[in-house]
A and B are shown apart, each in its own frame.
Chain A
Amino acid sequence: MKHAATQTILQRIAASLVNRLSRYVTWHGKADRNLANESGRFFPLVLILGREHYKERRKTYPTLRRRDLQKVLRQELAGEPLTLSVPGPVRGDSREVSFYRLEQGVIESLPRSLFVIPESLVLSSQVSEDGWADVEREDYRYFLFGDGSSQPAGGALARRELVALASGVDPDLPPDEWRGSAELLGHMRRALLKVPGLTWWSCRNPLPHRFGLDTVAWKPVAVTAALVLFGYLVVSSLYLQASLGLRSDDLDTLEPEIQEGLVADEEARDLTARRNALAELWGSRADTQALWQSVALALQNRASVNQVEMRDGRVRLYGEAADAAEILTLLAAVPNFKDVTFDSAVRSGRSGRQNFTLSFALAESAADNEQADE
C-alpha cells in the first residue's frame, strides 16, 4: 500500500518535472508551440524545427573515425546554408549521414536555443523499422519512414502507393496516420526522450556564437583605455610627488621647533633622573648622631662604655655593666634602633660586672623611623 503510494507520488513528481521541462521545448511549425501545448513564442532550450522548414538528404560515407568524419563534413558544408549533419550508425563498412538544410532565416529569426532538432528526426523513433507514417497537421502533410527519412507530400508523391513505391516500403503495409498537432505533440514528448546523446550533440545550434565582439570598435576602445590608464598613472604620480614635496617642506619648516622640543624633552628626562637621584641621595642620609642615645642610656644605667664603632649604619658598643641584658633590653626598646643583639658572649669580670659587646642598626631614613614608630 505504502509502496504504491510512494510510486504514485514519484510519478506525479516526474510528470510535473517533465511538464515543466516541456515548456522549454518549442516546436516551430507554422506557429510556435511548446511541448506543454502552449502557443506563443518562448525562449527554448530545445527547438524542434517543423518539417516544412528544412530539406533533407542523405549520403553514405566510408567508415571513418567520428572526428575525421566531422572534418570531412565541415569541409563539404563550408560556404553552404546552415545545415545540420547527423551521422547514423555504422552499417558494415559505411555510415549514412543525414543532412538537414535549414530554410534560410528561420532559426535566425527565433530566440537562440541550445539545440535545433528536425521534427522528422525526433518522430522517427516512433515509427517501427519497416513501417511508415502519414503525418498531417496545420495543412502540411509528409511521410515518415522507419529509417528516419521523410518526404513531404506533394505533386505525384501525394498518393500513398506512389510514395511507398518510391521509398521502397511495402505498398500493402498501411502507414500510421498521425493527424493534428495535439497527437504529434504527444509523439514528440515520447520521442524526445529516446533521442541518443550523439544525435543531441550533432544537433547543437549551428548558428555561430556571436557575442557582438566583431562589432566592437576595438581600436578606439583600446586607445581610450590606454589613455585613461596613462592619465590615471600621471595624475596619481603627480599627486604623490606633490604631496610628498609639500609634506617634506612642512617637515623642514618645523625642524627648528622640533629640535627645540626634542631638546626640551631630553633635558626634562635628564632632569627627572637627576631629581630622583638627588632625592634618593638625601633620603638615604642616616641620622648617625642617634647612636649617642645608646651611649647615654648605657651610662644612665651605670654601665661604662669602652668603645663605640659605627660603620655602614650599624653600631657596635663595647662596655661593662652590672646587668648587660638590661642594657640590651633598654636599647631594643628605642624605636631608632633595630636588630639589637649581643655580638659575643657576655662574660663576668673580677669586679662582678659583665663585659658585653652588642650591636644594632640605625634607622636609615625618615621612612625607617616611621616604620619603627609604628
Chain B
Amino acid sequence: MNSRVRILFGLAGALAVARFVLVPWLGAQADLHDRLYAVTRQLDRAEAIVAAGPDLQARRDTLAESVAELAARAPQAESGSEHRVQVQRELRSAVEAAGLKVQLFEWVFDGESTPTGLAFGRVRMQFEGTLREVAEAHVAIEAGFPQVFVRSLAVNVRNRGNLLGTAGATIELDLYYQPGEAS
C-alpha cells in the first residue's frame, strides 16, 4: 500500500476514533464531573446541617418553651362545647359579682388565628345595672381574663347621668383559647 494511502487511512482512523470514542468518552466524563461537583456541594451542606444539628434542636426546644409560655395566656380547651359552657359561666359570674343582671349572652361566631395557633370565640353580652357596676364589670373582665379582648362597648345611661344612674350595656368580647386536638 502506498505510504500516502496509509497516512490517509491512519488519519481517517484517528478521526473516527476521536469522533466515536474520545468525544463521547470526554462528554461522559464532563457529565460525571458535574454530578460529582453537585454531590460534593450537597455533601458539604449535609455535613454543615449535621454539625449544626444539636444547635438546631436546642434552638427549637427553646422556641417551643417560649411559644408555650406565650400561648399559656390562653386556656387550653379540650372540647369546644365544654369550653363555651365554662367561659359563659365564668363571665356571667364575673358580671353578676359586680351586681349586674345579665340579659343576653350570645356566641356570635368562632374563628381561628392561624399564625398564633389559637382559636377564638366572639361573645356578645348585654347586662343592666348602675354605671358604676358596669364599669366594675368591665374592669373585672379585662383584669380577670387576660385572654379576652374587648372589641366594643356601648353604655346607655337612662337617668341621672352619674355613677348611680341605671345603665344598659352591650359588650363584645373575643375570647382566645388553645384548641384541643378533639375540638
A residues bordering B, Cβ < 8 Å? 229, 233, 236-237, 240-241, 243-244, 247-248, 250-251, 254, 257-258, 260-262, 264-265, 267-268, 271-275, 277-279, 281-282, 285-289, 291-292, 295, 299, 303-312, 319-320
A262 touches B49 (CB 8 A): yes
B36 touches A240 (CB 8 A): yes
- Contact partners of A319 in chain B: CB under 8 A: 161
Most buried by B among A278, A295, A305: A278
- Please tell me if B139 contacts chain A, counting CB pairs below 8 Å: yes
A-B CB pair tally, cutoff 8 Å: 149
A258 touches B46 (CB 8 A): yes
- Please tell me if B103 contacts chain A, counting CB pairs below 8 Å: no
The stretch of B51-59, B84-92, B94-102, B104-112 in contact with A is B51-59
How far is A233 from B23 in the complex, measured between Cα atoms in Å?
11
A285 touches B115 (CB 8 A): no
How far is A237 from B33 in the complex, measured between Cα atoms in Å?
9
| Chain B residues within 8 Å of chain A by Cβ, number | 57
CB contact between A244 and one of B39, B131, B161 (< 8 Å): that residue: B39
A278 touches B60 (CB 8 A): no
- Contact partners of A309 in chain B: CB under 8 A: 152-155
A244 touches B35 (CB 8 A): yes
How far is A361 from B59 in the complex, measured between Cα atoms in Å?
40
A261 touches B56 (CB 8 A): yes
Closest beta carbon of chain A to B34's beta carbon, Å: 10
B49 touches A268 (CB 8 A): no
Q: Which B residues from 137 to 159 make CB contacts under 8 A with A?
A: 138-139, 142-143, 146, 149-157
- Contact partners of B155 in chain A: CB under 8 A: 307-309
- Please tell me if B76 contacts chain A, counting CB pairs below 8 Å: no
10 more contacts with CB within 8 A, not counting A278-B70, A309-B154, are: A240-B33, A251-B43, A264-B59, A274-B117, A277-B116, A278-B116, A305-B157, A307-B157, A310-B150, A310-B153
Q: Given A271-B60, A282-B73, A291-B153, A306 and B117 touching (CB < 8 A)?
A: no
> Which A residue sits closest to B53, measured CB to CB?
A261
- Please tell me if B66 contacts chain A, counting CB pairs below 8 Å: yes
Grouping DSSP codes into helix (H, G, I), strand (E, B) and loop, the A interface class, with mixed when no group exceeds half, is: helix
Q: Given A271-B63, A305-B157, A311-B151, A247 and B56 touching (CB < 8 A)?
A: no
A278 touches B131 (CB 8 A): no
B153 touches A268 (CB 8 A): no
Q: Given A264-B60, A310-B153, A241 and B46 touching (CB < 8 A)?
A: no
Q: Given A278-B116, A279-B70, A292-B138, A264 and B39 touching (CB < 8 A)?
A: no
A268 touches B113 (CB 8 A): no
How far is A240 from B139 in the complex, measured between Cα atoms in Å?
75
CB contact between B156 and one of A254, A287, A307 (< 8 Å): that residue: A307
- Contact partners of A308 in chain B: CB under 8 A: 153-155, 157
How far is A268 from B62 in the complex, measured between Cα atoms in Å?
9
A306 touches B157 (CB 8 A): yes
> Which A residue sits closest to B59, measured CB to CB?
A268
How far is A237 from B27 in the complex, measured between Cα atoms in Å?
11
How far is A54 from B52 in the complex, measured between Cα atoms in Å?
91
How far is A244 from B42 in the complex, measured between Cα atoms in Å?
12
How far is A311 from B172 in the complex, measured between Cα atoms in Å?
9
Closest beta carbon of chain B to A320's beta carbon, Å: 7
> Which B residue sits closest to A240, measured CB to CB?
B32
B39 touches A273 (CB 8 A): no
- Please tell me if B50 contacts chain A, counting CB pairs below 8 Å: yes
CB contact between B139 and one of A244, A250, A264, A289 (< 8 Å): that residue: A289
